[in-house]
Amino acid sequence: MRNIFLFIKKFFVFFLFLLLQVISISILATYNKTHQALFSTASNEVTGWVSQQYNDVEYYFRLKKTNEALAMENSRLRNIITEKWDAPDTTKTARLDSLIRDTLGRIRKFNFLPAKVVNNSVNQQNNYITLFRGAKQGVNTNMAVCGPDGIVGRVVSVSDNYCVVMSILNHYSKVSAMLLHSNYTGIIEWDGSNPAIAELNGIPKSAKVKMGDTVITSNLSGNFPQGILVGTVSGNTIDPTTGFYDLKIKLATNFYTLQFAYLIENTMWTEQKQLEAKPVINP
């Protein structure tokens, strides 16, 4: 017994080194699986606060571009308000109201919550964005996030006032997307090289894909509403070994200048997930 203690004492520094290595690697491993690290709630609050102070300064330099993006979005949205469309018979006007429940029994499925981006990175291999909205404002993990121009990512961890979003520019990010004109569905992934380009995998070569085709979020992705812009096709080579396209997508969102984002809540998310988690009983 005494020899064991002597042995440990002699190599104490080496054992401490091994212990710290094991701790850091295990933190990394668990984080990649669950996105919940040691003290992640407390550290989100602190780093979020520091990032906000930094962003207060940075925000001024981007005011012009941010304003432009928001104005463009406003005009796009105004163009699709039904009041602006004139029916051939002008005695009738169609109206859509924004009640949670309308008289026809339709339910509002997606809620949008605006949020300020306080921290953002583009040059890591796994990029995360911090937003100034948290559990107190009704943010949950797995909520989808889009910007004024297109999709941004998915919420992975929440503290009281901040939330961390895994952006599309992340090796663990997978978003279901489809081609607008042919409805072929694939998965959007990022290879870590260029922050403006993502990949769309799983489109068979029977689909006809031209350069500049629009890619939108698909109806299969639970957290994203269908039809949010992802980007446009900027490279369409066919991989001869698999028979699938190697599609390069130019992302609509400019991650360098992102200042505002919308958190999207799917009000039926829990219901859908509960049903899907139930084992299917075969008669």
Q: Residue 14 has what DSSP assignment?
A: H
CB of 125 to another protein, least distance (A): 5
> Does 49 contact another protein by CB under 8 A?
no
CB contact at 8 A, 245 and 139: no
Residues 6+ apart with CB under 8 A from 85: 94
CB contact at 8 A, 249 and 191: no
> Does 124 contact another protein by CB under 8 A?
yes
CB of 129 to another protein, least distance (A): 9
Residues 6+ apart with CB under 8 A from 243: 204, 205
> Does 8 contact another protein by CB under 8 A?
no
At 146, which helix (H) or strand (E)? Answer: strand 144-146
Amino acid sitting at position 100: I
> Does 193 contact another protein by CB under 8 A?
yes
> Does 241 contact another protein by CB under 8 A?
no
**For another protein, the closer CB: 128 or 245:** 128
Give the Cβ contact number of residue 247 at 10 Å: 25
- Near another protein by CB under 8 A, which window of 31-39, 63-71, 92-100, 242-250? 31-39
Q: Which two tokens stand for residue 219?
A: 């109806």
- Near another protein by CB under 8 A, which window of 16-24, 64-72, 235-243, 265-273? 16-24
Q: Residue 86 has what DSSP assignment?
A: P
Residues of span 201-240 touching another protein by CB under 8 A? none
How many residues of this chain bind another protein (CB under 8 A)?
39
Q: Provide the pairing of β-strand 126-131 with 185-189.
A: unpaired
Q: By CB under 8 A, name the one of 8, 38, 81, 96 that touches another protein.
A: 38
Backbone Cα Rg of the chain: 23
- Near another protein by CB under 8 A, which window of 18-26, 67-75, 200-208, 246-254? 18-26
Residues that bind another protein (CB under 8 A): 12-14, 16-17, 20-21, 23-29, 31-32, 37-38, 40, 43, 46-47, 50, 54, 121-128, 164, 171, 192-195, 256
